[in-house]
Amino acid sequence: MAKEPVFYSFHFANDVFRVQQVRIMGVVDGDEPVSPNDWETLKRKGDSAVEKWIDENMKYTRCVIVLIGSETASRRWVTFEIAKAWKENRGILGIYIHNLKCPRSGTCVMGENPFNNWLVGGQTMAKHVNCYNPRADNAYLDIATNLQSWVASAIAQAKSRANSQAESSGEPLV
């Protein structure tokens, strides 16, 4: 199976070390990480600069993987990336990463499902997007073993959505 190009969406400050573990698995073709200094510089340039960076980095991907830590669901740019992925009919999935160990803080508490914050066709987006909760005893191995098939499934779901475009675009719950 070929490596699919993906975009990782996550809360940078809290989860960058956990995210790096997923990126280095080499199972999918992930976007290049941005350094903490580059991310802060980008944010200081304003919203349009961040949006442009996201557009450029998501442009040729087939799937967006939301890596869900303790605060991911409430992050502004994660919300933007979810909306963009849904609107552009990309594959989208979530993976809880609270059981991956961060060298600074160990594991963290399980975060909320960010897809519960969106309404699609009268249901929460969580009804349409798979979120995976890897085994606590070896989350790294579980992700490494299954990531490629999870991505393939998300891409297939996006194709199915495109074929039955009766659903409305994702709208945030108010």
Task: Please write the tens of the pLDDT for every residue from 76-129.
Answer: 999 999 999 999 999 999 999 999 987 787 788 999 999 998 888 889 999 999
- Mean model confidence pLDDT for the chain: 87
Whether 38 has a pLDDT exceeding 80, the answer reads no
Domains, in order of start, for the chain: 5-172 (3.40.50.450)
pLDDT of residue 172 exceeding 60, the answer is: no
Q: What is the DSSP string of the chain?
A: -PPPEEEEE--HHHHHHHHHHHHTT-SSEEPPPPPHHHHHHHHHT-HHHHHHHHHHHHTT-SEEEEEE-TTGGG-HHHHHHHHHHHHTT-EEEEEE-TTSPBTTTB--PPPP-GGGGEEETTEEGGGTS-EE---TT-HHHHHHHHHHHHHHHHHHHHHHHHHTTTSPPPEE--
What number is the average pLDDT over the span 130-149?
A: 94
Tokens of 171: 């709208």
User: In whole angstroms, what is the distance from residue 44 CA to residue 39 CA?
Assistant: 9
Predicted pLDDT at 77: 94
